[in-house]
Structure 1
Amino acid sequence: VAYAGALYGHPGVVKRRRPPAGEYAWTAEGLHALADYAAARGVKIVLEPMSHFRTHLANTPAQIMRLLDLADHANLYALLDTYHFIAEVRDYAAAVRTMAPKLWCVHTCENDRGVPGGGIVPWDNLFDALHAVGFDGPLTMEAYNSSIDGGDFAFARGMFHNVCPDGAEFVRAGLEFLRPHVARRWGD
């Protein structure tokens, strides 16, 4: 799995005007061509709806699914990020159901981008819904360690406080929280 950033918009650039009427169609056309290119090389294209604080094009599950439907390619998938959903959805279970046909991966982090657990993400709601739709893809933890490269990577992504000063501890604590949720629904 490689991180390429947002493929359908420019994170951090939020337009203060309504997007052009044809923007979804143009974007879908480009994504279809990209998916063809990637498929020929054995690479999946997985799109993540991001909060309206990061981009304007695809913020909600319905918007990302609309974009994927317009692009109409078997090599395009969706990623659910628990952090971005805090700002965009009220019902995580409904979000999971909306994205289920194309859901490939889930980023698990807390509402502050920190270690999963202890914040306001509705974890039981999320995991119950993932299990109900038969999700069997990767669960990943996305963290920004501000001590790497002087903090430039994290700072460029809007992380101005270090929620991950110790990557190993982040992973240990995150797995300690996530494993029981997975075991309770899918078994060991």
Structure 2
Amino acid sequence: MKFGIHAGLWMKKWADDPAPIFAKVAELGFDGVELSLLGVGRDRAEAIGRQAADLGLEMTCSTGLGPEADPTSADASVRANGLAVLTEAIEVTQMLGARGLAGVVAAPWGVFDPANKGARAERAAQTLGQLDAVLEACDVTLGIEALNRFESDLTSTAAETCAIARATGSQRIGVLLDSFHMNIEEKRPDAAIRAAGETLVHYHVSDNDRGVPGSGRYDFPADAQALREIGYDGWVVAEMFVMAGNPASADLNIWRDIEPDPTQAARETLTYLKEVFGNAG
């Protein structure tokens, strides 16, 4: 089991220089850091990867798609653009020295079309399945994130997201489950983890208010037990958004400071993760 934290905890903008954040993460004792590719392209990737490696940090990546790159679109040209955008993201992930890419990759964030959900899910699976060769060549695993109902209608539950991942036919594509989203959508998040089984390739944590795990009402020990039962030994990454008015997370509606200090929140989080998940792998 490896413990990481998303650089977005501190970032004001996705294109911010991550080097000072890497230094904080290493000092705090995390195994690695997760970096959004929304502000990282080919021109910066290798240098950023070296910055993390020089501090002994492993890296994992996340990204999201806009409507112009929708894998579910009925327009073949839009699907092709989605394929191109994700291909570049996979290649940038490799350039960073990371082996995992996850996030909003099956459908754009905030796009809803429930009347055509079945057809969209099929197109998403077909489009993502075409990434298998580049995933294999880059030695990268792709995780489709299950999002709550206010952010997606296509992958709102673990079951829906796993179905798309499995339908791709790629052994390199799985799911990302996130405690914040599961808290809204799953009657039993631990049961959702068990049902995901080997399809689970990435796991995010924050408490029910997107703050420090263990500070709210989410049952993390139950998730830890489920991870133990399915033999999950990958990343446990804290993805917290705690600063009000932060441009990088403006669309997440953080209207108040969830935690008084991001760095202290990270420190408390690592202590909790080691306590609860330390023997889960």
In the superposition, the TM-score normalised over structure 1's length comes to 0.88
- Whether 1:94 and 2:191 are equivalent positions in the alignment is yes
Tell me which residue corresponds to 2:154: 57
- Whether 1:130 and 2:227 are equivalent positions in the alignment is yes
Detail structure 1 runs of 4+ shifted over 4 Å in the superposition.
none
Tell me which residue corresponds to 2:63: 4
Note the 1:38-187 alignment, pairs <5 A. Answer: 38-146=135-243, 151-183=246-278, 185=280
Deviations 1:13-45 (A, max 9, x none): 334x42254211111111111233232222221
Q: Secondary structure at the match of 2:143?
A: strand
How much does 1:145 deviate? Answer: 4.9
Aligned residue among 100, 104, 111 for 1:13: 111
C-alpha distance in 2 between matches for 1:62 and 1:28: 14
Query: What is the total number of aligned residue pairs between the two structures?
Result: 183
Tell me which residue corresponds to 1:22: 119
C-alpha distance in 2 between matches for 1:20 and 1:134: 32
> Relative to 1, partners in 2 of residues 1:33 and 1:110: Cα closer, same or farther, differing over 3 Å?
same
Q: Could you tell me whether the CA contact under 8 Å between 1:115 and 1:170 is conserved in 2?
A: yes
How much does 1:93 deviate? Answer: 1.9
List gaps (5 residues or longer) in structure 2: 1-59, 65-103
Residue identity opposite 1:109 in structure 2:
S
Residue identity opposite 1:4 in structure 2:
T
List gaps (5 residues or longer) in structure 1: none
Highest RCO, 1 vs 2 (Cα 8 Å, sep ≥ 6): 2
More displaced 10-residue stretch of structure 1: 150-159 or 58-67: 150-159
How much does 1:165 deviate? Answer: 4.9
Q: Secondary structure at the match of 2:215?
A: coil
Q: Secondary structure at the match of 1:132?
A: helix
In proportion to residue count, which structure has more strand?
2
User: Cα RMSD (Å) of the superposition?
Assistant: 1.9
In the superposition, the TM-score normalised over structure 2's length comes to 0.61
C-alpha distance in 2 between matches for 1:71 and 1:159: 34
Residue identity opposite 1:83 in structure 2:
F
Q: Secondary structure at the match of 2:247?
A: helix
C-alpha distance in 2 between matches for 1:20 and 1:177: 38
Q: Could you tell me whether the CA contact under 8 Å between 2:142 and 2:174 is conserved in 1?
A: yes
Identity of matched residues, %: 23
Q: Could you tell me whether the CA contact under 8 Å between 1:48 and 1:80 is conserved in 2?
A: yes
